[in-house]
Amino acid sequence: MLPPVLSTVLVVGDVMLDEYLIGRATRLSREAPVPVLERTRRHVVPGGAANPAVNIVRLGGQAVAVGVIGNDPAGRELEATLLAAGVDTEGLIVDPSRPTTTKTRILAEGSFVHGQHLARIDHVDRRPLDVEVEGALAERLSRLVPGAGAILISNYRNGVVTDELIQRCLALRARHALPLLVDSQGGLGRFQGFDVVKCNRAEAEAELGEPLRPAGDGRAAQLAALRARCRAGAVVVTLGEEGIAWLDRQGYGECPPQRRATVFDVTGAGDTVMAVLTLAFLAGLPLARACWLANVAAGLVLQVLGNYAPTRAELVAHAASHAAEESYPP
Over the range 78-105, which residues count as b (16 or more CB within 10 Å of their CB) and which as e? bbebbeebebbbebbbbbeebbbbbbbb
299 backbone dihedrals φ, ψ, rounded to 5°: -60, -35
SS (H, E, C) 77-140: HHHHHHHHCCCEEEEEEECCCCCCCEEEEEEEECCCCCCEEEEEEEECCCCCCCHHHHHHHHHH
DSSP bridge pairs for 152? 11, 181
Q: Among residues 198, 144, 196, 137, which one has the least CA distance to residue 172?
A: 144
Residue-level length of the chain: 330
pLDDT computed for residue 326 by the predictor:
44
Q: Where are the domains of the chain?
A: 8-17+47-101+126-178+257-322
Q: Which of 14, 183, 248, 271 is catalytic?
A: 271
| 210 Cβ contact list (under 8 Å, min separation 6) | 222
Q: Among residues 175, 194, 74, 64, which one has the least CA distance to residue 125?
A: 74
pLDDT computed for residue 215 by the predictor:
79
DSSP bridge pairs for 48? 15
Spatial distance between the Cα atoms of 88 and 62, rounded to a whole number of angstroms:
8
Q: Per-residue pLDDT for the chain (330 aa), expressed as one digit of tens each? A: 666 666 899 999 999 999 999 999 888 999 998 889 999 999 999 999 999 999 999 999 999 999 999 999 999 999 999 999 999 999 999 999 999 999 999 989 875 556 688 899 999 999 889 999 999 999 999 999 998 999 999 999 999 999 999 999 999 999 999 999 999 988 999 999 999 999 999 999 999 999 999 877 789 999 999 999 999 999 999 998 888 999 999 999 998 876 555 555 667 688 999 999 999 999 999 999 999 999 888 888 876 766 788 888 888 887 777 665 545 554
3-state SS class at 25:
strand
Task: Please give the helix or strand (H or E) that residue 262 lies within, else none.
Answer: none
pLDDT computed for residue 319 by the predictor:
76
217 part of the active site: no
CATH 3.40.1190.20 is the classification of domain 8-17+47-101+126-178+257-322:
yes
| 38 Cβ contact list (under 8 Å, min separation 6) | 23, 24, 26
Indicate the pTM of the whole model: 0.91
DSSP bridge pairs for 23? 39, 108
